[in-house]
Structure 1
Amino acid sequence: MDLFVRETGPLQAPTVVFLHGGRLSGWSWEPVIDRLPGYRCVAPDLPQFGKSVALGPFRIDRAAQAVATSIRSGFGAGGLHLVGYSLGAQVGIDLLAREPALFASAVLCGTFVNSFPWVGPSQRFVGALARMAWSRRLLSQLWNAHPPELAATRAADYREDMRLALSEDAAHIVSESAGFTVPKGLEKSPVPALFITGADEYWPAHRSAAELARTMPRGVNAVAVGMRHDWPLRHPELFSRTVRCWLANADLPSQIAVR
């Protein structure tokens, strides 16, 4: 499976792999990547998203395998840095469990793991809800009421991604995300991983980040003060500084509070 991949930066610079969320494809990382000129930045479109839409259907494990294959063949077999947001963070977690040797560090934001005792029923309920037309209309209204600034600069890409994300065909992506659990092997992954949750996110995201940080030997749980779930898209300056500091083993910005 050959994912579509955007690549910028010096060829000999440290490589950072960016995994997008469940609404917008790899181009949405551009405001962050533009602020990281000293890195070789790689942003694939995950299966069933953007220019990899024909490679669906999306599954987290399948997407992780595709990302691993793409980066191993094009960008090396180790020492890479991983950045993931929302759905992309779930793919990133799966990668850290199955391919830890590929990565030197990771920053994962706004992720979710289903730790309820009724994973199957909750997954089916969320999937059924996502297939309902009124639910998709509500999500569209909520998202488009306050679109991120990057939507204005890439209007055509934004509209196309939103059309796909709010279609009935995408309901199984929501279900796949809702059924994601801590992958086997994550407890042995030695990668230094920073799990960040926006302070204003709902409690399942905070609980998930804490559980993931406890699971990994070098996991760190942190909160982005005053931020919502989509803060990496809305505050690229702060997010890029956070990534740069974590990758360089430097002090995090004051807005990132370690728990």
Structure 2
Amino acid sequence: MHVTEYHSGSTESVLFLHGGNVAGWMWHAQAEALPGFHALVPDLPGFGASSHIRWTSLEEVVDALAEVIAEQAHGGRAHVVGLSLGGVLGVLLTARHPDLVRSTFVSGAAIDGVQGFTRAAGLWQLKLWGLASYWRGLAGAFRLPADSVEQFVVTGLSIHRPSAQRMMTQVYDGIQDPQLAGLQSANFAVLALAGELEPRMVRSSLERITSLVPQSVARLAPRMHHVWSGEDPELFHRVLTHWLEHAEPSPELLPVNPEQSGQGFAPEETA
């Protein structure tokens, strides 16, 4: 698996896990802007510089990421940061290899899976992945900054589509409780996020994560959609930096409901 490193002289390591329509490049600006942390930014199997590596299963990819931490992270442990697909992998990595994790920061981690029309539409769109126009349209839907669009298009066209189909099907099927049993052993801080404007099916996974992890909290990124690392990279950077430096949610984040005390939430009370 291809891995880009930043600030190798810094003490603590951060593993950045990218989403399912991009590659590790989505994190490069964030990693560069964290000189106090050693960053490991892999291209997941089937994506970017790892497009020649075939995606097998969520578990095998997570185990390969655990090897990256064990071999390349300082002290053999890392803070885990993931968005969308990367968020799902971050949760599963935390469950399967808690001894390698310093903290976990995940956003848009739809561990409950995706069903119905959204699932059908997502799988159908795989047929369009060979069209540059599709990727340009998706860049607009994701509200990506103009200077990221060309790289997004090039990356999208290079994705190994059979790998993407296997990955997407596995994510859409959801993560079952036995796969997450190890979360009970997480004796470190976990932050589960969603954009305030994300679909309910994404936000519903927050309750499940916080119910499974003893030291966890859920929050919303104000006025943000799913790919808010690109929609407002400065906000994302402030929130991430606060988390890495203080192991607590940034005050810029919103509770999932006004009565939230910091440990979980009741989905029926959200909009």
Q: How high is the TM-score relative to the length of structure 2?
A: 0.81
CA-atom RMSD, angstroms? 2.9
The reply to whether residue 181 of structure 1 matches residue 175 of structure 2 is yes
Structure 2 match to 1:220: 217
Aligned to 1:248, what secondary structure does the other structure show?
Answer: helix
**Counterpart code for 1:44:** P
The structure-2 alpha-carbon separation of the partners of 1:139 and 1:171, relative to structure 1 and needing over 3 Å to count, comes to: farther
Structure 2 match to 1:101: 99
TM alignment of 1:1-259, pairs within 5 A: 3-76=1-74, 78-114=76-112, 125=120, 128-133=123-128, 140=135, 142-146=137-141, 148-149=144-145, 152=147, 155=150, 157-165=151-159, 167=161, 170-182=164-176, 183-185=179-181, 186-249=183-246, 252-259=249-256
Unaligned 5+ segments in structure 1 are: none
Q: How many residues align?
A: 251
1:70-128 deviations in whole A, cap 9, x for unaligned? 22112245442110010011111111011001111111011102269xx8x99985675
Aligned to 1:243, what secondary structure does the other structure show?
Answer: helix
The structure-2 alpha-carbon separation of the partners of 1:133 and 1:162, relative to structure 1 and needing over 3 Å to count, comes to: closer
**In structure 2, C-alpha distance between the alignment counterparts of 1:47 and 1:17, rounded to whole Å:** 15
Deviation, structure 1 residue 221:
0.6
Unaligned 5+ segments in structure 2 are: 257-271
Aligned to 1:258, what secondary structure does the other structure show?
Answer: coil
8 Å CA contact 2:196–2:222 kept in 1: the answer is yes
Moved over 4 A (4+): 121-128, 130-134, 136-139, 165-169
8 Å CA contact 1:131–1:168 kept in 2: the answer is no
8 Å CA contact 1:245–1:252 kept in 2: the answer is yes
